Amino acid sequence: MKIVVCIKQVPEGLDVKVDPETKRIVREGVKSIINPYDLYAIEEGIRLKERFGGQTWVISMGPPQAETAIREAISMGIDNGVLLSDKKFAGSDTLATSYTLSLGIKKIGDVDIIICGRETLDGSTGQVGPGIAVHLGIPYITYVSKIVDIKENKIETIRLMEDHYEVVKTNLPVLITVVKEINQPRIPSLKNMLRAKKIEIPIWNAEMLGGDQSLFGQEGSPTKVIDVWTQEIKKEGRKVEGEPQEMAEEILKELKKLGVL
Amino acid sequence: MGIKVIYEKCNLCKKCIEKCPFVSIEIKDNKIFINEKCTLCGLCVKICPEKALLKEEKEKEKIDLSQFKGIWFFAEAKDGGISSVSYEMLSAAKKLKEKLNEEICGVCFGKNIKDKVINLIRKGADKVYLIDDDVFCEFKEEVYADALSYLIKKYKPNIVIAAATMIGRSFIPAVSVKVKTGLTADCTDVDIDEKTGLLIQTRPTFGGNLMAKIICEKHRPQMATIRPKIFEQAKDQENTKGEIIEEKVEFKIEDRLNICGKQRIENVVDLQEAEIIVSGGRGLKEGKNFDIIKELADLLNAAVGASRAAVDSGWIGYPHQVGQTGKTVKPKIYIACGISGAIQHLAGMQTSDYIIAINKDPDAPIFKVANLGVVGDLFEVLPILIKKIKEGGK
Ligand SMILES: Cc1cc2nc3c(=O)[nH]c(=O)nc-3n(C[C@H](O)[C@H](O)[C@H](O)COP(=O)(O)OP(=O)(O)OC[C@H]3O[C@@H](n4cnc5c(N)ncnc54)[C@H](O)[C@@H]3O)c2cc1C
Ligand SMILES: Nc1ncnc2c1ncn2[C@@H]1O[C@H](COP(=O)(O)O)[C@@H](O)[C@H]1O
């Protein structure tokens, strides 16, 4: 079985700091990490190989430094990695990103399962996974919280909806997006860390991917960001301190004011 | 393609370097250089006083945009009715209609829901496209995507919006790829630019700390998913005269998913629809202490939420988790009990209308977003509060 995990490198943390004068996001000293959701995807990829055998890949589209993310995934236990990188990919929205990744996955070839994270920290759209599946013409299942079984080319999963779980079955090849509940990502092992250090990570550019070159990057991206700003959520709150009795009274008063009681 | 520097005009004032949100401009060999972090946002082009920066754009074959008309919203059928978020989407559509003056059309898929769909018309939809068919009994992303793409290709709407629920977020991305247009996720506002008539889509990223305005200029329809609980539900209107247009499944459907079994999650945690949420964190000390949270939630008719620490300790299931790796919620009232307010938790709840926090540490970050911050021990305060509510009755 061939398993491909899609990962993205993102800046660590949510508190993007902005210089109040220049309005610029401060990135100096901010570490890049694997998108937290993608760790669950990587872990599930490794577990599938452990359960059913086969070969695991990670793929990422991004600037050259995204290679570190791929090496991190390999140090967790993924077999191979490939980076899709080209200036032509700059400015990609989710349509262009999913197209580019789908070409990369086709180039890897004969893939049975593609695993994506639920969403990214910076994009947070959750659109790339379903997009890849449509470009590849394969079925997809979102919010998977468990892979029950894979046999005879069929996969059985449990997926999480707002207020219920569902058992969903389909045929391979398939793309799934996974939620945190699915597993607990492992810590890299020394052996794999050494392997990750040495392994060669191929970089595929636009030309090597082929496809319709006008669908890459900004040109292939229908959406356009026209403004960005940071927002600080401030509440005109009040803080109260005192005896439990008084405190309960305060909350009660507030709930009444809010029309709840 | 890219940002071009016209070196003759550039006087190295560095304003572009200062303003670039992505740190993608640097000076190399005494010249402005755009590195690979550039996302082509174009801010530098806008602010350069010397007009020394240019965005190169290739002329695309023009799609005739004028043939796309109408503001569509997707209405989710749920438990034999129309879900409440659908009426929020209708409100958003009405807001757009004020400036755009195009027809509002609802789209609904389901089984035996014709008599429910009429409510959309009562509340202001000019038309509803309804497909009533057995294939829609279960939610399957492929089937829904095929059906909506078919209707979009047939009727060519200008705008399509849907709620950013698990359903919307699961199948709308596939629709946008099938009809080859852009899609903006999780918008917290939509509006029409009065000059261009374009849909302005505002959305948060980085847990709401960074906001962006996004447009889709040259592709149609302009598509967006909108967070629940941003728009009020549309209300009944007088003199409505909309029509329901029934469509048949006369198009190709890929139906490769098999749903075989469902399991409800205990004490309904549709957190995204809840008006009130009572949440517990590590401050509860033990799993069984969630009973206090559940009791208060029951009294207030509220849903139960949790911090990741509480979920990871195994005190309550993951579907209850609020925050960056859990759910994003925006209830009218959010009551945080024994939650420190780590940024990842705040990311999922800080836009709630009213936040009450109970924490014994006066310096807990949760107090920064709380409207009412109660410094106190939850094991002392909550039981008294529960008793008082019971005594006072509703
Ligand atoms: C990639 C990533 C993703 C994450 N995603 C999420 C997420 O989605 N959601 C999330 O919640 N977290 C998330 N976290 C974890 C987050 O950083 C915090 O660790 C977590 O929110 C802490 O939960 P807590 O507030 O319950 O626990 P703590 O931080 O331990 O806080 C417990 C609080 O309870 C108070 N307390 C203790 N006893 C009492 C008492 N008797 N009465 C009153 N107050 C009391 C304490 O003063 C303290 O402030 C994520 C972290 C990472 C790295
Ligand atoms: N540039 C990328 N390279 C590889 N995988 C990606 C990339 N962007 C998104 N993904 C995958 O798609 C998922 C959803 O991303 P998003 O749509 O940006 O929220 C992520 O969790 C990744 O698995």
Chain segment A129-183, per-residue pLDDT in tens: 999 999 999 999 999 999 999 999 999 999 998 888 999 999 999 999 999 999 9
Is A163:B327 a contact under the CB 8 Å cutoff?
Answer: no
| Half-sphere CA count of A70, side-chain side, radius 13 A | 27
Percent of the residues in chain B that have a pLDDT greater than 90, as a whole number? 67
Is B184:B223 a contact under the CB 8 Å cutoff?
Answer: yes
Is B228:B161 a contact under the CB 8 Å cutoff?
Answer: no
- Which of B308, B335, B349 should be mutated for ligand 1, with most atoms under 8 A from CB? B308
Residue B236 carries which side chain, given as an amino acid letter?
A: D
Give the mean pLDDT of chain A.
Answer: 92
User: Does the N-terminal peptide bond of residue A63 adopt cis geometry, omega within 30 degrees of 0?
Assistant: no
DSSP category for residue B251: S
Euclidean distance between CA atoms B94 and B237, whole angstroms: 12
Domains and CATH numbers, chain B: 2-56 (3.30.70.20), 65-246 (3.40.50.620), 271-390 (3.40.50.1220)
State residue A227's pLDDT score.
Answer: 83
Q: Which of A29-33, A214-218, A256-260, B11-15 has the lowest mean pLDDT?
A: A29-33
State residue B349's pLDDT score.
Answer: 92
Confidence of residue B23 (pLDDT cuts 50, 70, 90): confident
Chain segment B343-381, per-residue pLDDT in tens: 889 988 988 999 999 999 999 999 999 999 999 999 999
Locus of tokens 């080859």: B180
Residue nearest to atom 15 of ligand 2 (CA): A119
Phi-psi region of B8 (alpha: psi -120 to 50; beta: other; left: phi over 0): alpha
**Largest interatomic CA distance in chain A:** 71
Euclidean distance between CA atoms A210 and A118, whole angstroms: 28
Locus of tokens 């009562």: B122
Residue A130 carries which side chain, given as an amino acid letter?
A: P
Helix A36-52 vs helix A67-76: crossing angle, to nearest 10: 40
Which ipTM score applies to this complex?
Answer: 0.89
Chain segment A174-210, per-residue pLDDT in tens: 999 999 999 999 999 999 999 999 999 999 999 999 8
Cα–Cα distances (Å) from A87 to A32, B36, B147, B297, B303, in that order, read 20, 7, 37, 53, 47
Give A 207-236 residues with CB within 8 A of chain B. 214, 217-219, 221-236
Chain segment A11-54, per-residue pLDDT in tens: 887 666 655 555 455 666 678 899 999 999 999 999 999 999 99
Alpha helix stretches (DSSP H) within chain B: 15-19, 43-47, 84-100, 114-122, 141-155, 166-178, 290-300, 308-312, 343-349, 378-392
Euclidean distance between CA atoms B85 and A244, whole angstroms: 39
Question: CB within 8 A of B391, min separation 6: which ones?
Answer: none
Percent of the residues in chain A that have a pLDDT greater than 90, as a whole number? 79
CB contact under 8 A, B141 and A235: no
State residue A231's pLDDT score.
Answer: 73
State residue A91's pLDDT score.
Answer: 86
Residue B375 pairs with which residues in a beta bridge? Answer: A241, B359
State residue B1's pLDDT score.
Answer: 59
State residue B229's pLDDT score.
Answer: 83
> Is A124 strand, coil or helix?
coil
> Is B77 strand, coil or helix?
strand
Question: CB within 8 A of B197, min separation 6: which ones?
Answer: B100
Task: Say which of B38, B42, B258 has its CB closest to residue A168.
Answer: B258
Is A49:A178 a contact under the CB 8 Å cutoff?
Answer: no
Chain segment B116-154, per-residue pLDDT in tens: 999 999 999 999 999 999 999 889 999 999 999 999 999
Percent of the residues in chain B that have a pLDDT greater than 70, as a whole number? 96
Q: Kindly report the pTM of this predicted structure.
A: 0.86
- Residue A125: pLDDT above 50? yes
Locus of tokens 């009213």: B354
User: Considering only CB atoms, which chain B residues are within 8 Å of A260?
Assistant: 276, 300, 333
Residue nearest to atom 9 of ligand 1 (CA): B323
Chain segment B215-251, per-residue pLDDT in tens: 999 999 999 999 988 899 999 988 888 999 999 988 8
State residue A40's pLDDT score.
Answer: 97
Ligand 2 pocket (Cβ < 6 Å) reads A 6-8, 35, 37-38, 41, 60-62, 94, 97, 101, 116-117, 119-120, 123-129
Domains and CATH numbers, chain A: 2-215 (3.40.50.620)
B342 lines ligand 1 (CB under 6 A): yes
Confidence of residue B281 (pLDDT cuts 50, 70, 90): very high
Q: What are the tokens at B34? A: 């755009």
Query: Phi, psi at residue A21, to the nearest 5°?
Result: -80, -50
Confidence of residue B394 (pLDDT cuts 50, 70, 90): very low
Q: Which of B176-180, B245-249, B262-266 has the lowest mean pLDDT?
A: B262-266
State residue A17's pLDDT score.
Answer: 67
Instruction: Report which of B114, B104, B29, B111 is spatially closest to residue B74, judged by C-alpha positions.
Output: B104
Q: Which residues of B286-295 are buried (b: 16+ CB within 10 A; e: fewer)?
A: eeebbebbbb
Is A102:A136 a contact under the CB 8 Å cutoff?
Answer: yes
